[in-house]
Amino acid sequence: MATRDLLIEIGTEELPPKALSRLSSAFADQIAKQLQDLNLGFEDVERFATPRRLAVLVRDLEEAQQDNEKTRLGPAVKAAFDQAGQPTKAAAGFARSCGVDVADLARSDKDGTEKLAYTVLEKGQATTALIPDLLEPALSQLPIPKRMRWGSSRNEFVRPVHWLVVLFGNEAVAASVLGVDSGPATRGHRFHHNSDIPLGKAGAYEAVLRDQGKVIASLDKRREMIREQVLQEGDRLNATAVIDPDLLEEVANLVEFPVALTGSFEEAFLAVPQEALILAMKSHQKCFYLTDSNGKLLPKFITISNIESTDPGQVIKGNERVIRPRLADAQFFYDTDKESPLESRQAALGKLIFQDKLGTVLDKSQRVGELATLIANQVDANPEHCQRAAQLSKCDLLTNMVGEFAELQGLMGSYYAEHDGEPGDVSKAIYEQYQPRFAGDAVPETLTGAVLAIADKLDSMVGLFGIGQPPTGSKDPFALRRAAIGLLRIIVEKQLSLDLGELIDASLKTYPADLLQAETRTQVFDFVLERFRAWYLDKGMSSEEFQSVFVLKPSRPLDFHLRINAVHAFYQLPEAKPLAAANKRVANILAKQDSSDSVLALDESLLSEPAEKTLATEVQQKELEVAPLFDHGQYTEGLKVLSGLNTSVDTFFDDVMVMTDDVAVKNNRLALLKQLQSLFLRSADISHLHKS
């Protein structure tokens, strides 16, 4: 069948940059889905998006639907004719509904029953007749958080619509959407070519806009243009241009024809912490920054202009004039904040609410300080430094710099504490309390920072669970899942032998009596340990391996980590699967015993079968061998030793009847199985490794 390219372009006022990519993808997906639903074949769908337009180009779209044969089934032949072979009312009615005589009906077999049938050929519609009805449904399904109206119209869209192009090959298709009629012309760059540009054929859309309209219609190509230009500017200056992916995406969504230009600012501004300057350049001016070979910020910036100026120097000067006050503000905030010690802001935290029921930020700092001191004594950290870091940890929330740039909390506190002469690990800990901030972020480097981070995260979890505000499936406003993962990572990666249950108990004691719910301890404990699941699954471990340790609820996260790594190593051994199956069998046997059945200590005098004697001897020997290994957390080595029980366990189940009629013998064999089970449970419940 003949095909043509289809172009649909919606021209608008400037679209929100942070939503542009999402809108573009959704628009293309909606058009593609509707074409598929209409049984119209096509090769591909290309999406285009600039601040002033959303467009899709459907390559090689069929010019019409395929003709479609449809067969209608009527009554069974037995019911369609009487004994004389004359049509019944059922047959006549079916023929009438089809617009034919009974004699024109065919017969078809359906599930073993012969029925009357009539086949009709449905002529496929021309694509040009179907296209206009695609637009409104596609636009109505876009993910627009807030729609707007314009003029006196009742139409609603993300931004006012100014033009519409619907071009099928070289044929302009008449359509209307949101009060705008389609035409054969697009529009160029707002400054370079702010007028209509006729389109001869749909497939030439991208090239015409680029060559005549000074518009790079492809978001992907525009993004890569910006990346290349920014890197080239860095190379030209023998510097490293740092490209933040989010900033790159936003800038690509702000321009239609990107031109990278490098400006500069006074070196005096470099006295301000570079993170504050970088944030000011990125958030306020959407500029990329440059560093030297040591990673130090250079007094230069790269801005992306939306025009190709005949006098780029003037554009650069304009950007320098705009960016200078932003950097001056950052310098003013920094200098003003340093005039007062960080400690002087602590009392004012009493006016800053952390959470209505949990009190102020000052209350939280005091709770965290108490908990941090306890943790410090357990991990050989400096308790005075941990307490001091907790006291100062939230003070920077009241500084001018953090008031302007909330992302700098912790970091600015660290700078100000260093300026005030606080101990180095105290200053670092104020920054490290929020680590890890995201997946893959580093854990605190200092032990003081690790202690403070654990205390701060645990305080939030205990308090919020305690007042009945745990995370839900869709909401986690206090980022408690991230806090729990962070707490586990710190304990494991810093190899801290901390008991989670004991820490939760200590945290509970820092809150007023009767404030928190009775089940808080259990809820927080289970919530934190459950975060291990995703961690280990991401590392390639199975759900069965995780469950074999999780059911034992080890209260020390580092111990949990050692156990599951040991199980993973054990599971690679050839003996693992038969031993897992045997442990599953043992667990089932023991679970079926009534509470009245007495599984007493093993009585060697009741052992009669060679297989049970051998197993009893080996269990005793292995217990002596693995006890010191398990006591020292050497679970991998211990499980490897226990893998040697495989042959004797298999022989036992082959040769010995456990549930014999002799009650004493039966209970003695149950006691032996209980010993075997307990031996493995020192590390994990490997019965969970057996897949039924």
pTM, entire model: 0.82
Rounded to the nearest integer, the mean pLDDT of the chain is 93
* Domain shared by 116 and 149, yes or no: no
What CATH number is given to the structural domain containing 379? 1.10.3210
Q: Could you tell me if residue 560 is inside a domain? A: no
- Of 219, 276, 278, the C-alpha closest to 243 is 278
Strand residues in 205-360 grouped as ranges (E): 240-242, 259-264, 288-291, 297-305, 353-355, 359-360
* Domain shared by 53 and 184, yes or no: yes
For the stretch 480-524, pLDDT in tens is 999 999 999 999 999 999 999 999 999 999 999 899 999 999 999
For the stretch 149-201, pLDDT in tens is 988 888 889 999 999 999 999 999 999 999 999 999 999 999 999 899 999 89
* Domain shared by 670 and 621, yes or no: yes
CA distances from 64 to 1, 38, 125, 130 (A): 8, 10, 6, 9
Chosen domain end from 338, 368, 388: 338
pLDDT score at 287? 96
Helix (H, G, I), strand (E, B) or coil at 110: strand
Tokens of 424: 């180095």
Q: Could you tell me if residue 558 is inside a domain? A: no
Chosen domain end from 308, 338, 368: 338
**Who contacts 692 (Cβ-Cβ below 8 Å, separation ≥6)?**
none
**Who contacts 377 (Cβ-Cβ below 8 Å, separation ≥6)?**
383
The pairing of strands 180-183 and 53-62 is: unpaired
Tokens of 543: 């759900």
pLDDT score at 70? 81
Residue 69 burial by CB count (10 A; 0-12/13-18/19+): exposed, middle or buried? Answer: exposed
According to DSSP H, which parts of 393-514 are helical?
A: 400-404, 411-419, 424-432, 447-466, 480-493, 500-509
CA distances from 655 to 45, 608, 659, 676 (A): 68, 12, 13, 17
Euclidean distance between CA atoms 447 and 424, whole angstroms: 12
Hey, how many other C-beta atoms are within 10 angstroms of the C-beta on 571? 18
* Domain shared by 61 and 78, yes or no: no
* Domain shared by 149 and 83, yes or no: no
Q: Could you tell me if residue 546 is inside a domain? A: no
Q: Could you tell me if residue 548 is inside a domain? A: no
pLDDT score at 595? 52
Judge whether 528 and 500 are in contact, CB under 8 Å: yes
- First CA to last CA across the chain, in angstroms? 54
- Phi-psi region at 673: left, alpha or beta (left = phi > 0; alpha = psi -120 to 50): alpha
Judge whether 305 and 192 are in contact, CB under 8 Å: no
Tokens of 189: 């760059």
The pairing of strands 288-291 and 240-242 is: antiparallel
- Of 164, 165, 144, 166, the C-alpha closest to 156 is 144
Q: Is the pLDDT of residue 134 over 80?
A: yes
pLDDT score at 180? 93
* Domain shared by 245 and 206, yes or no: no
Q: Is the pLDDT of residue 598 over 80?
A: no
Q: Could you tell me if residue 551 is inside a domain? A: no
Q: Is the pLDDT of residue 692 over 70?
A: no
* Domain shared by 184 and 309, yes or no: no
- How many distinct structural domains can be found in the chain? 5
Structural domain boundaries enclosing 591:
565-689
Euclidean distance between CA atoms 148 and 26, whole angstroms: 19
Q: How many residues does the chain have?
A: 692
Tokens of 219: 């978001």
pLDDT score at 512? 93
Residue 670 burial by CB count (10 A; 0-12/13-18/19+): exposed, middle or buried? Answer: buried
Residue 378 burial by CB count (10 A; 0-12/13-18/19+): exposed, middle or buried? Answer: middle
- 536's enclosing H/E stretch is helix 520-538
Chosen domain end from 99, 122, 145: 122
Judge whether 62 and 127 are in contact, CB under 8 Å: yes
Judge whether 504 and 459 are in contact, CB under 8 Å: no
DSSP 366: H
* Domain shared by 601 and 677, yes or no: yes
* Domain shared by 600 and 677, yes or no: yes
Q: Could you tell me if residue 550 is inside a domain? A: no
φ, ψ of residue 516 to 5 degrees: the values are: -100, 150
Euclidean distance between CA atoms 101 and 464, whole angstroms: 76
More confident residue, 5 or 78: 5
Hey, how many other C-beta atoms are within 10 angstroms of the C-beta on 440? 6
Q: Is the pLDDT of residue 597 over 60?
A: no
Tokens of 592: 């079926």
Q: Could you tell me if residue 549 is inside a domain? A: no
For the stretch 277-300, pLDDT in tens is 999 999 888 999 999 999 999 999
pLDDT score at 594? 63
pLDDT score at 243? 96
DSSP 13: S
Helix (H, G, I), strand (E, B) or coil at 98: helix
Euclidean distance between CA atoms 78 and 88, whole angstroms: 10
What CATH number is given to the structural domain containing 649? 1.10.730.10
* Domain shared by 102 and 138, yes or no: no
For the stretch 227-278, pLDDT in tens is 999 999 999 999 999 999 999 999 999 999 999 999 999 999 999 999 999 9
Q: Could you tell me if residue 359 is inside a domain? A: yes
Judge whether 177 and 136 are in contact, CB under 8 Å: yes
Q: What are 418's strand-pairing partners?
A: none
Euclidean distance between CA atoms 284 and 291, whole angstroms: 19
pLDDT score at 522? 96
Lateral strand order in the sheet of 240-242? 240-242, 288-291, 297-305, 259-264
* Domain shared by 432 and 468, yes or no: yes
* Domain shared by 423 and 504, yes or no: yes
pLDDT score at 123? 83
